[in-house]
Amino acid sequence: MSVAITKNTAIIKKKALDAGFSFCGISRAEFLEHDAPRLEKWLNEGQHGTMQWMENHFDKRLNPQLLVPGAKSVISLMYNYYTPQKQVDQQAPIISKYALGEDYHKVIKDKLFELVKNLKFEIGNFEGRVFVDSAPVMERAWAAKSGLGWIGKNSLLINKKAGSFYFLAQIICDLELSADLPIKDYCGTCTACVDACPTEAILPNKIIDSNKCISYLTIELRDEIPTEFKTQMENRVFGCDICQDVCPWNRFSTPHSEPLFEPKPELLNMKATEWYEINELVFEKLFKNSAVKRTKFKGLKRNIDFLKSSS
């Protein structure tokens, strides 16, 4: 391996940490052979629910060189979003931890653009693109391939030192870098996440049936939530952290240090009655620059009303 490859790899990992990312791993930009049949089976069995966009760009999801011509490396990054802060009213509808602060798509993407700019200053020009959960990139597969963790039974990436409350991001580029090796699966015989899932969405072989997943039902599903889930939502109104909250590896979670991910006090302090009476004006103010805007007011109100009718 050339000195330049070793040097550039070290620079990238240092600059990533300087930019606030907790972990950085690198893999070769090659076809995801192991993931292709799993993705095809998942789609064929309709376990993506109404997320028709998951059927698009099948080849691009598996081959990074179709996203970045001449790509040689995939740089995978993890950014902490864990917070021990909770909504004060224990009867209030629950928002997933990742959505309590500002929308991670913009926050992380801005950090990636800045990181790439700094890398080009240090290394020299290179071609590449940044990705944060908004393009046909299998971020968990790439993170696992680069040794940042393993795919847990709940299908999320679990880092041995820090758990799973992390945003994943990638830089696919034409730099030749030193690749990291995957690590072993440390879930063992533990079934905590499987046992805790109230809708039984976690299937064998690390498969999630989206049609049953609370995150899907409250965010991605545009139709009415099926009545069969009325007693199974665990008061979740946007997303779900249940399978992460019970994961033993998340005992290593530490609070994030990103000011933009700090929850708004007014959000944490909202009473259940205020949630049930929320209007569009309050929604726009409360969730400005928030991932919750993905559901729009109509979607969040649907979720709130569904919970209310279940109580």
CA 116 to chain CA centroid, Å, is 21
* pLDDT beyond 80 at 311: no
Helices 104-123 and 3-18, interaxial angle, to 10°?
A: 140
Q: How many helices (H) and strands (E) would you count in the chain?
A: 12, 10
Active site residues: 133
* pLDDT beyond 90 at 310: no
- What would the pLDDT profile of 110-138 be if each residue is shown by its tens digit? 999 999 999 999 999 999 999 998 789 99
Q: Is the dihedral of CA 113, 115, 133, 219 positive or negative?
A: negative
Provide the residue type at 282 as one letter.
Answer: V
Closest C-alpha among 182, 159, 188, 185 to residue 250: 159
Whole-model pTM: value is 0.96
* pLDDT beyond 80 at 8: yes
N- to C-terminal Cα separation, the chain: 63
* pLDDT beyond 70 at 1: no
Mean pLDDT of 191-210: 97
- What would the pLDDT profile of 13-59 be if each residue is shown by its tens digit? 999 999 999 999 999 999 999 999 999 999 999 999 999 889 888 99
